């Protein structure tokens, strides 16, 4: 981001960011640019807490346990007696989705990871080991490296 829009006021900065946080003049919008979950953001948890409870006025009471219970229930209701096909990228998001679906539908989940040749070295094997062997998800790894890389030649 190069500049704030005309209705925004910078309220915080860092050594490399002139507007790490900003407020909108008219609407109750807040902007923050940082990764609160990383180690080099020592006050990340406090910033998240203040946003949730002081700015957004949330009440609290949320727990991971209740979220998991609700997510699994919703997946069960949506899938019914059907099956689920889940594409895996090797990243956190698709791994979480696969794990939740597995809790909800068990063996009716089929995961697929397409190794297109652009994954980190050994990543497809790591995903297969972690999700397929350790967590017992039904996982098919498709080796499409040659096909993808041939199509990308010269790009």
With beta carbons less than 8 A apart as the criterion, state whether 75 and 101 touch: yes
Secondary structure letter of residue 120 according to DSSP: P
Cα distances from 24 to residues 4, 17, 21, 69, in angstroms, run: 10, 18, 10, 37
To the question of whether residue 89 is assigned a binding role by annotation, the answer is yes
To the question of whether residue 81 is assigned a binding role by annotation, the answer is no
To the question of whether residue 82 is assigned a binding role by annotation, the answer is no
Find all residues with CB under 8 Å of 17, minimum gap 6, and list them.
33
Spatial CA neighbour of 20 closest among 42, 40, 4, 38: 4
To the question of whether residue 90 is assigned a binding role by annotation, the answer is yes
To the question of whether residue 154 is assigned a binding role by annotation, the answer is no
To the question of whether residue 66 is assigned a binding role by annotation, the answer is no
CA 74 from chain centre, in angstroms, equals 19
To the question of whether residue 99 is assigned a binding role by annotation, the answer is no
Q: Which residues are annotated as a binding site for ATP?
A: 89-95
Annotated binding-site residue numbers: 89-95
């Amino acid at each position: 981001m190069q500049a704030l829009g005309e209705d925004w006021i910078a309220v915080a900065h860092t050594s490399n960011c002139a507007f790490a946080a900003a407020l909108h003049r008219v609407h109750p919008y807040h902007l923050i640019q940082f990764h609160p979950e990383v180690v080099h953001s020592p006050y990340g948890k406090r910033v998240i807490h203040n946003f949730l409870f002081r700015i957004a006025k949330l009440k609290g009471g949320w727990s991971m346990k209740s979220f998991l219970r609700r997510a699994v229930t919703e997946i069960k209701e949506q899938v019914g007696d059907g099956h689920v096909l889940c594409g895996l990228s090797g990243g956190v998001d698709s791994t979480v989705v696969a794990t939740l679906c597995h809790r909800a539908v068990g063996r009716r989940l089929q995961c697929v990871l397409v190794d297109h040749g652009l994954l980190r070295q050994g990543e497809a094997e790591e995903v297969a080991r972690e999700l397929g062997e350790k967590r017992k998800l039904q996982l098919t790894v498709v080796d499409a490296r040659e096909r993808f890389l041939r199509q990308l030649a010269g790009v």
